[in-house]
């Protein structure tokens, strides 16, 4: 971590310097750029579909560069597995992260269960083409090492298990249950990072079935609709947010974002990769002047529906 020690203060104030002429203020960016957040779900190693959904969300241009200005892009995990383009997509997000920061925007990546599986050497869903792109199994394993591998370090330094945006929306890969939400974002992220650094993938509580990379309790509506909405409300209240956003449970039969509990809970894994049918959809959140948010589903062909 950077040294936070304050530098020594001078005992005497330095002599006043002549003031330089001030430049005219730079016009503020467009409102929708500053207050716009878009989120996309599981990508599963499909570069063509990844680019298509990011262009649908209007954050990537035809040259595969950031075009979102000061917007925030959140990707809810599972970039890897089931396809051939693992390296290309992680490198794309790493490039976009830097470009967005320079533009005043932000790219946020959340761990999916497949990231954690690969970091923990659970490779059951890795394709032949994926192995070949790394140069073989040994080279791939080396690349995924969080302490010495280029990809493992990239993921470890830039991903968290959950993210809360501007106090109103919580993002996780799987469903956020109250028992975890009550711990708070910082504690959950610390627990995940600590377990990954210690290679404790199978015993760490944060990576078990009720944790935020695996749970599907809200998506499957366990116990019925009323019980689900009580759970969602309790988890959202524990985090102090208005809504919970998940990926993980692919809506490939409909290709649409799943909304429950008056849109307090949304699943944005619509089956974007060709493995799951190649459906395209993104979530858009616009922050209003009165402190509320307007939430939209985005679909190809200009389709946009308010939730």
Contact criterion met (CB below 8 Å) for 81 and 120: no
Residue 34: pLDDT band (50, 70, 90) is low
C-alpha torsion sign, points 81, 109, 279, 95: negative
Angle, vertex CA 169, rays to CA 166 and CA 172, nearest 5: 120
Residue 12: pLDDT band (50, 70, 90) is very low
- Class assignment of domain 31-306? alpha beta
Give the pLDDT score at 29: 42
SS3 string, 162-190, reads EEEECCCEEEECCCCCHHHHCCCHHHHHH
- Please give the DSSP secondary-structure letter assigned to residue 59: S
Residue 15: pLDDT band (50, 70, 90) is very low
Give the pLDDT score at 259: 98
pTM: 0.89
Whether the predicted pLDDT of 301 surpasses 80: yes
Give the pLDDT score at 162: 98
Quote the CA–CA distance of 56 and 77 in Å, as a whole number. 18
Q: What is the pLDDT of residues 165-218, one digit of tens each?
A: 999 999 999 999 999 999 999 999 999 999 999 999 999 999 999 999 999 999
C-alpha torsion sign, points 63, 68, 70, 72: negative
Q: 160 pairs with which residues across the strands? A: 110
* Window from 5-19, 38-52, 76-90, 209-223 with minimum mean pLDDT: 5-19
Give the pLDDT score at 160: 98
Nearest alpha carbon to residue 47 among 114, 92, 94, 108 = 92
- Exposed e or buried b for every residue in 119-146, given b needs 16+ CB within 10 A? bbeeeebbbeebbebbeeeeebbbbbbb
Residue 33: pLDDT band (50, 70, 90) is low
Percentage of the chain with pLDDT > 90?
88
Give the pLDDT score at 30: 43
Contact criterion met (CB below 8 Å) for 173 and 248: yes
Mean pLDDT of 75-97: 98
């Amino acid at each position: 971590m950077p040294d936070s020690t304050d530098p020594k203060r001078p005992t005497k104030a330095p002599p006043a310097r002549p003031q330089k002429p001030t430049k005219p203020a730079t016009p503020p960016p467009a409102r929708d750029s500053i207050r716009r957040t878009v989120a996309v779900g599981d990508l599963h190693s499909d570069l063509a579909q990844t680019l298509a959904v990011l262009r649908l969300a209007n954050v990537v241009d035809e040259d595969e560069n950031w075009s979102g200005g000061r917007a925030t892009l959140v990707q809810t995990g599972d970039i890897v597995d089931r396809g051939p383009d693992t390296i290309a997509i992680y490198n794309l997000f790493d490039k976009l992260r830097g470009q967005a920061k320079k533009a005043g925007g932000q790219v946020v990546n959340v761990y999916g269960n497949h990231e954690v599986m690969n970091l923990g050497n659970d490779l059951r869903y890795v394709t032949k083409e994926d192995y070949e792109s790394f140069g073989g199994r040994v080279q791939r394993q080396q690349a995924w090492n969080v302490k010495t591998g280029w990809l493992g370090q990239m993921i470890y330094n830039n991903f968290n298990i959950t993210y809360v945006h501007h106090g109103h929306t919580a993002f996780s890969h799987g469903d956020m249950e109250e028992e975890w939400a009550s711990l708070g974002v910082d504690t959950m992220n610390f627990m995940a990072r600590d377990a990954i650094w210690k290679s404790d993938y199978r015993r760490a509580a944060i990576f078990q079935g009720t944790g935020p990379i695996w749970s599907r309790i809200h998506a499957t509506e366990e116990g019925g609709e009323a019980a689900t909405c009580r759970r969602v409300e309790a988890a959202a209240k524990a985090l102090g947010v208005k809504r919970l956003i998940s990926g993980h449970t692919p809506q490939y039969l409909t290709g649409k974002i799943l909304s429950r509990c008056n849109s307090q809970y949304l699943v944005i894994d619509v089956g974007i990769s060709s493995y799951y049918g190649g459906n395209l959809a993104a979530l858009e959140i616009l922050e209003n002047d009165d402190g509320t948010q307007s939430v939209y589903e985005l679909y190809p062909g200009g389709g946009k529906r308010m939730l």
